[in-house]
């Protein structure tokens, strides 16, 4: 069982940067894939960044070149670095995990229903 808690959400101006963190419990190396999802009011929850059990990463086309995902297994923390933020990035951001040995190019195609473990979310507002 993996527990997840996000932090780092804030209100920022267009063009600003934020780094979200997700503290997780348990050893997820080689056993879990992890991801950042976001959900804006009235919209579907969408995946924005993914990492597989071996540490390979991928980001959605909508954030490519602006968002970077990284994972520090020694610190049990998943990060999402967000640069050049736009109002369209306003959403609640969630950290998620799933037991999986799939490579990241497949993980990146998984819908939110494939992830078993979720944090409570952190709000990002860009204006």
Q: What are 40-62's pLDDT values in tens digits?
A: 999 999 999 999 999 999 999 99
Contacts of 83 (CB under 8 A, 6+ apart): 17, 66, 67, 68
| CA gap 114, 127 in Å, rounded | 32
pLDDT for 76: 93
pLDDT for 91: 98
| CA gap 52, 62 in Å, rounded | 20
Cβ atoms of 117 and 96 within 8 Å: the answer is yes
pLDDT for 48: 97
Tell me how crowded residue 31 is: count the other CB atoms within 10 A of its CB. 14
List, for the chain, all residue ranges whose pLDDT scores fall below the cut of 70.
Answer: none
Give the strand pairing for 122-126 and 11-12.
parallel
């Amino acid at each position: 069982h993996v527990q997840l808690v996000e932090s780092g959400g804030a209100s920022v101006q267009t063009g600003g940067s934020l780094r979200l963190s997700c503290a997780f419990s348990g050893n997820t190396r080689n056993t879990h894939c992890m991801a950042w999802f976001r959900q804006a009011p009235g919209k579907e929850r969408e995946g924005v960044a993914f990492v597989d059990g071996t540490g390979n990463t991928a980001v959605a086309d909508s954030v490519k070149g602006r968002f970077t995902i990284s994972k520090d297994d020694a610190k049990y923390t998943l990060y999402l670095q967000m640069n050049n933020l736009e109002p369209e990035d306003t959403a609640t951001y969630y950290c998620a995990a799933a037991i999986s040995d799939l490579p990241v190019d497949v993980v990146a195609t998984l819908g939110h229903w494939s992830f078993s473990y979720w944090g409570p979310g952190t709000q990002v507002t860009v204006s």
